[in-house]
């Protein structure tokens, strides 16, 4: 990835030069970076591998009060949902085992 300086990135997709001035600001919704803001190319596309992938954190950490307040809530809910998925998967395995055992007896 040719870089003329830290904040510039020459995209092979469109031939445009990405830098902070030409980007848009987004907010992370991922678990460990929830609420952090970052710069990304306005031409970025999650479904297109050829799209520009310029990325640079705007925040060094969660700096806004809302992000700091909601992060623990989101992480707790995510962990509850992960646990619910684990329980559902285990129940599904047990059900399949019972069905297989019943079919063998018939």
- What is the pTM (predicted TM-score) of this model? 0.47
**Which residues does 38 contact at the CB level (< 8 Å), separation at least 6?**
25, 26, 27, 28, 55, 56, 57, 58, 59
* Distance (Å, whole) CA 62 – CA 69: 10
Averaged pLDDT of the chain: 77
Q: Over the stretch 46-83, which tens digit does the pLDDT of each residue have?
A: 787 777 778 888 877 656 677 677 778 888 888 999 99
23 or 50: which carries more pLDDT confidence? 23
* Distance (Å, whole) CA 88 – CA 104: 24
């Amino acid at each position: 990835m040719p870089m003329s300086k830290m904040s510039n990135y020459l995209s092979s997709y469109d031939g445009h030069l990405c830098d902070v001035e030409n980007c848009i600001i987004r907010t992370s919704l991922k678990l460990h970076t929830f609420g952090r803001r970052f710069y990304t190319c306005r031409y970025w596309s999650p479904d297109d591998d050829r799209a520009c992938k310029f990325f640079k954190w705007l925040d060094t950490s969660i700096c806004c009060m809302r992000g700091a307040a909601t992060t623990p809530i989101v992480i707790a809910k995510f962990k509850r949902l992960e646990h619910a998925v684990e329980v559902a998967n285990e129940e599904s395995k047990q059900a399949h085992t019972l069905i297989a055992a019943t079919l063998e007896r018939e």
